[in-house]
Structure 1
């Protein structure tokens, strides 16, 4: 299917989830992530902050877990037309931007690009790791500038069914997809 069709289909499927269903599925995604990847103290994780109005996966569960275990947490912030990475702490002050995203007040880019994990928002991901997001390309830009060792991990309520037919040259797939039921790898020689 084309990205536009997938974007529409999975936006509708997400909207159909009740708040309780979204919360429960987010918890299962979190459990699968922790069980499979088991991040350790001192490791660096870049993780998006969800947009509640869009029923994105509740990554606040992830963020609280990481902060309590001294796993370094970085979140994205759009400044101008660029996505920067800001390290956050328990005391970080947040504000809601015009898109309804809670983000740090600070505009100070950490300059960090050596993450162990980059937890990536998406509307859909196929069985090749091709992502369908909101179409702005911010994460393709981020992926171009991070360490090759970083694990790019998509999280989604839904398992892949259709393939993305209109993958572009500059589209960068994720390495893994975590759903409520499984963890898929798109890397050869997956453990």
Structure 2
């Protein structure tokens, strides 16, 4: 797995590189220190996951992520920051980031990178506890309007719990391909972009 790390603190970048590469099979292939660096490095190196801070001089991580995701919809961006600001969390969710962690939770960084690289969305416990309360600040759809079946609601429930396609498939006794197809159909039906927004939809409309 190839990772790019972007943080305006060079010592933090070096520390993250050490932590990440202590696990076999993971390599930090580039490091930057602002949003402009993030965009340039992503375009040049095309990492499996971009691990990035939010507040940086010149261009923030959120601004950079917006540019990258506009160019590469499937880009996997994991934010690692010291800030729990509601505004930042909401924007990260809306633009399609795959995760949001707090820097103090260093032991979760490598597992989170692995999960994001596998296609899952990862949010630290501090973030998860805030999401339901933040949903009122994100425009939403009326669930009943889309006439979701019981099976679709069950699948959305499992996705919102953070299960991978394989785990969902095992739980519902389906193939991974069937799960991927059903998720794509649900996303199109709900006019949503990805699994993260599907999880938001679940917390806002189905619980």
TM over 0.5, yes or no?
no
Name whichever structure is richer in strand by fraction.
Answer: 1
Q: TM-score of the superposition, structure 1-length normalised? A: 0.39
Q: TM-score of the superposition, structure 2-length normalised? A: 0.37
Q: Which has the higher contact order (CA 8 A, sep 6+)?
A: 1
